[in-house]
Amino acid sequence: MANREINNFQELFKENKYLNAKNHLYNYLLRKRAIRKCLKGDQPELMLEVGSGISPLAADTGNIVYSDISFEAISILKQTRASGHYVVADAMHLPFQTNIYSHIICSEVLEHLKNDRHAIAEIFRTLKKPQGCLLVTVPHRRRYFGYDDRYVKHYRRYELAEIRERLRSAGLQPILIQKVLGLTDKITMIFVVFLFSIFHRSTSGKMTEGQIIWLRPLNLMMVVFKWINQFYKGYVWLEAQIMPLSFSTVILIKARVSQEIGRREKG
Q: How far apart are CA 184 and CA 243, in angstroms?
A: 11
Cα separation, 56 vs 78, whole angstroms: 11
Determine the pLDDT at residue 266: 52
β-pair type (133-139, 103-107): parallel
* 50, β-bridge pairs: 67, 106
3-class DSSP assignment, residue 106? strand
Number of domains in the chain: 1
What pLDDT, on the 0 to 100 scale, is given for residue 198?
80
Does residue 263 form part of some domain?
Answer: no
Instruction: Specify whether the CB–CB gap between 160 and 251 falls below 8 A.
Output: yes
Separation in Å, CA 19 to CA 83, 100, 105, 122, 267: 18, 31, 21, 30, 47
DSSP 83: S
- Model pLDDT, residue 216: 56
3-state SS class at 88: strand
Is 9 domain-assigned?
yes
**Domain for residue 262, yes or no?**
no
Phi, psi (degrees; rounded to nearest 5) at 94: -70, 125
Partner residues linked to 135 by β-bridges: 105, 254
Answer yes or no: is 266 within a domain.
no
Would 264 be classed as within a structural domain? no
- 112 within a domain of the structure (yes/no): yes
Residue 170 is part of a domain; what is its CATH number?
3.40.50.150
Give, as one character, the DSSP assignment of residue 222. Answer: H
Q: What pLDDT, on the 0 to 100 scale, is given for residue 227? A: 84
**Which residues lie closer than 8 Å to 123 by C-beta, 6 or more apart?**
50, 91, 94, 104, 106, 134, 170
First to last CA, the chain: 39
* Element holding 257 (H helix, E strand): strand 250-257
Q: Is residue 69 part of a domain?
A: yes
Pairing of strands 172-181, 250-257: antiparallel
Task: Provide the residue range defining the domain that includes 56.
Answer: 4-257
pLDDT at 2: 39
Cβ partners under 8 Å of residue 168, min gap 6: 174, 258
The mean pLDDT values, 10 residues at a time, for the chain of 267 residues are: 44 57 89 95 94 91 93 89 92 97 98 98 96 97 95 95 98 97 95 79 59 55 78 95 96 91 55
User: What pLDDT, on a 0 to 100 scale, did the predictor assign at position 22?
Assistant: 79
State residue 8's pLDDT score: 47
pLDDT of residue 17: 56
Residue 265 lies in a domain: no
Tell me what pLDDT residue 61 has: 85
CA-nearest of 22, 47, 31, 66 to 229 is 22
Radius of gyration of the chain (CA): 19
Q: What is the pTM of this model?
A: 0.86
